[in-house]
Structure formats: structure tokens, C-alpha cells
Amino acid sequence: MSIIFKKIIAGILSGFLLQSALAQHMGKVIEERTVKSTLLNRSVKYTVYLPADYDRSERTYPVVYLLHGYTDDNTGWLQFGEINRYADKAIEDGTIPPMIIVMPNGDSSWYINSYDGKEKYEDFFITEFMPSIEKTYRIKSQKKYRGIAGLSMGGFGTLNYALKYPDLFAAAAPLSAAVFDDSAMVKMRDDRYENIFGQLYGRGLKGSDRLNKAWYDNSTLKIVETKTADDLKKVRYWIDCGDDDFLTKGNSLLHILLTDKQVPHEYRVRDGEHNWTYWRTGIVDALAFIGKSFHQ
């Protein structure tokens, strides 16, 4: 065997071994699966990230539900957020514990039930989606091993679920959460309100008429105002919004409310806007915060 041929073989073997070694640290992504919903009368897509050792072990894992933003879908955090790459590295270097990350398609539901009962996404998520996911995968189904996070509309959904169902989630990490105060809703342009929020809170409403029961039942600030400090303390909160984000006011008001009620929480204002650069650079810290809840 010639020296050149030996070098070629050695190079191929070296490349193969390197590829195998790298694969040991890469999680598995299933881009599209579905959960059939009786409440919604349709199947809902989701994307799931499984940690690198999932197929090589028989252990169960904690879970984080990661919610996308308005106009996006279940693939957003994968395609634009590169969540698999960030999770792989963070797990490998010990920044976050191995975890399963589940990304449901929320369409433009804002993850809540609509005022007219035609869309019951919140009921679906809590009573159908989570139980189905936690039966399908090897997930630790206790509260202390369950977290939730999301961006923009998904940040709103994150807060909504954590505030309404504090016995289900250990930690919540909303990024650039769509938190609006009453004045923002009242002053919102009619076309914007109708296109985005009319389906949720009531069609054709103008001005203060928008501040109805459907709005207050889902207003992050109103829910925090009406809950006791002890109830709010049941979930650990990580709130992160850029200083140039159009949603910074709502997030600041949320921080002030929690501070006034003496509810411990982490509040971050970084340099940035409402974009994927901001969310990509913030997701590992958010997951690390949630991951601390999974430790004793």
C-alpha cells in the first residue's frame, strides 16, 4: 500500500471519527408532527428538539414549551432562532441541563380562547396538547420540570399560561413579550385592532369599548394586579425586552407591578430591537434561568 493511499485512508477515517464525535453532541430535531385536537376540530403542528442522548438512554427529561411570535409558525424558532444549535452548545458546555424543547404552532391565536368561543387554543394547549406531548416523549411531567418561554406573541402566551396556571410551570421566560396597557389598546388604530385583536376580544370595537371582559381576562397587567403576591411567587419569571423595542413600555410596567408586589423576578433590558438578533442572543440565558428550576 502506497504512502499516499495510506494518507487518504487515514484522512477518511479521521473525518469519519470526527463526524461521529460531533454527532454525539447534536440533538435530534423533528420538524413536523401533529396533535389531533377535538376542541379545535383540527390537527395542530409542532416541532420538537430532543437532546443528543435521547436515543441512547432510557431517562426522562424536563421540558420547555417554546412559543413563536405573530405571523410565524412552529418552525420559527428552528429556522430563524437556530434553537437546535444554541441548545446543543449550551447542553454540551453545561449552561443548561439536557431538556426537550417543544414548539407548537399557535397561528395567530395569541395562545388564548377567543371571546366568542370559536377558537379555544388555550383550552387545547392545557388539556390536550401538553398531556399528549408528555405521553409521547420521555418527559418528567411534574411542575418542577416544566418551563415555558416565547417571543412577542409567544411571550404574551408565556405570561398568560404561567399566570393562569401557576401549578403547571416552574419558570417562565418571555422575550419581548407583547404586553399592552389599557391606554395602548384604547388608542390603537382601528385597522390594527381589527386585523390583530378583533378576533380575540370583539369585532368592530373602538376606544374604551375594547376594555371588556375578554380583554381583562387576558391582560397580563390586569392579571398581575388582581393576583396575590403569594400566588405570583409560585412561578419564577425572567423578563427580557430590548431598549429599542416598541414593547418596552409594557414590559417595564410589568416589572414595576411585580416589584411593587415584592415578587422576585429577573428583568433584563439589553441593547436591541424587536428582531431575531435580539432573541437569538437571549434564548440561552432564558433557558439557563428555566434550567435552574430543574435542579435541586
Q: Three-state DSSP class for 33?
A: strand
> Residue 138's Cα: distance from chain center in Å?
20
Q: What is d(CA 35, CA 44) in angstroms, rounded to the nearest whole number?
A: 5
Single-letter residue type at 266: E
pLDDT 10s digits, 87-123 = 999 999 999 999 999 999 999 999 999 999 999 999 9
The β-bridge partners of 49 are: 29, 101
Q: What is d(CA 22, CA 144) in angstroms, rounded to the nearest whole number?
A: 31
pTM for this predicted structure: 0.92
Q: Taking 80 as the threshold, does the pLDDT of residue 1 lie above it?
A: no
Do 113 and 122 touch, CB atoms closer than 8 A? yes
Q: Which residue has the cell 409542532?
A: 46
Do 179 and 156 touch, CB atoms closer than 8 A? yes
Do 273 and 245 touch, CB atoms closer than 8 A? yes
Q: Which domains does the chain have, with CATH numbers?
A: 27-180+219-292 (3.40.50.1820)
pLDDT band at 143 (very low <50, low <70, confident <90, very high): very high
Q: Taking 50 as the threshold, does the pLDDT of residue 288 lie above it?
A: yes
How much is the average pLDDT of 239-263?
98
The vertex-251 CA angle with 283 and 163, nearest 5°, equals 80
pLDDT 10s digits, 21-72 = 445 679 999 999 999 999 999 999 999 999 999 999 999 999 999 999 999 9
Q: What is d(CA 255, CA 249) in angstroms, rounded to the nearest whole number?
A: 10
